[in-house]
Amino acid sequence: MELHTIWFVLVAFFWVGFFVLEGFDFGVGVLHTIVGKTDAEREVALSTIGPWWDGNEVWLIVAGAGTFAAFPLWYATMFSALYLALLLVLFALMARGVSLEFKGKSENPRWRGTWKWCTTLGSLLIPLLLGVGLGDLLVGLPINSNHDYTGNFFDLLTPYGLWTGLTLLGLCLLHGASFLKLRTTDALRERSRGVARPLGWAAIALVIGWVIWTRNIAGGADVPGPVEALAVIAVMFAARAAVTDYDGWAFAASAVAIAATVGSIFIDLYPNVMVSSTNTAYNLTVNNAASGHYALTVMTVVAVIFVPVVLIYQGWSFHVFHGRIKGPSTPEPTAVPSPPANPPRAAPQT
């Protein structure tokens, strides 16, 4: 296997890792205002992602850095084309990160309410916008012979890209509901089960529609490939398990559904890295967009050393913080002593 192909697989792996690991963070961020009825319950919901949310964002940075180093032409064209969309993603990432850190700095209701909605909207916009961008890579954007983007912002809002964004958002919401069931107890867990049912049906419909549309976009056989079929099976299993007590299986299945969906985009994209809707001769491929052999060799050595270290550390952190977080206890009402059935009569005055 050529080094540029290996790095295409690695970049795809980084994107899959980002959506699987950060996907439940996004889901919890959106759902914490729904499953949490009080500030204390919302804090518990957000505490479930406390040990991981900032570390999981590193996968997005690594995906971007890997693209820049291994495929500089792909990076230049993609980031210039998606400039405004990625700027919105950056604002959403900052708003979400700051809100998670600053919300508890004051008890003022307006302060807490503002940061609460920053968390919710930021967690909603990031997977939606990134999903639109990934869908656009496959369906194609107007790119000329110099590999320059010739469209405008609204050309990025392709119907297939928007459906891909909604599909990844729906999967993240189901992933987040499954994670909340896995990590909480009592009322929070039951409310998470309650929202998982409609989210499961929505995710199934979105994934099936996405697979049918992808088959039409990618060409080839009308029958879904093995990875696309895995996405459909996994999301069905996740939706069913999310309303049962098999919390671990539900979370694992939703993770597989996200991984299969994102992975399918890159499988169908290869050997292209970015499709031109102007002329297929202008497509960016793993051959014409890759760095030199020496650069790829050095990067491969670094990746072989550090990627396993990161995976071991990530797995250990999940082991350490695997326990459930109990919700705020509801104080029991104070019992008021009832008067005696036959109160003693006062002694007669003499």
Q: Give the per-residue pLDDT at 310.
A: 87
Cα gap 56→106, rounded to integer Å: 27
pLDDT tens for each residue of 50-107: 888 888 888 999 999 999 999 999 999 999 999 999 999 999 999 998 988 888 787 8
Residues linked to residue 184 through DSSP beta bridges, in sequence order: 325
DSSP 221-232: -SSPPHHHHHHH
Query: Where exactly are the structural domains of the chain?
Result: 3-320
Question: What are the CA-CA distances from residue 347 to residues 163, 339, 340, 344, 350 (Å)?
Answer: 85, 19, 18, 9, 9
Q: What is the pTM of this model?
A: 0.90
Counting as low any pLDDT under 70, the low residues of the chain are 220-221, 327-350
Q: Residue 289 carries which DSSP code? A: S
Q: Is-contact 100 119, C-beta < 8 A?
A: yes
Which run of H or E residues covers position 168? helix 159-183
Cα gap 176→23, rounded to integer Å: 7
Q: Is-contact 269 227, C-beta < 8 A?
A: no
Nearest CA to 318 among 17, 51, 25?
Answer: 51
Q: Is-contact 258 171, C-beta < 8 A?
A: yes
106 Cβ neighbours under 8 A, 6+ residues apart: 112
pLDDT tens for each residue of 237-262: 999 999 999 999 999 999 999 999 99
What's the token pair of residue 125? 């916009």
Q: Give the per-residue pLDDT at 342.
A: 54
Cα gap 26→31, rounded to integer Å: 9
Nearest CA to 74 among 59, 84, 63, 85?
Answer: 63
Q: Residue 108 carries which DSSP code? A: -
Q: Is-contact 96 125, C-beta < 8 A?
A: no
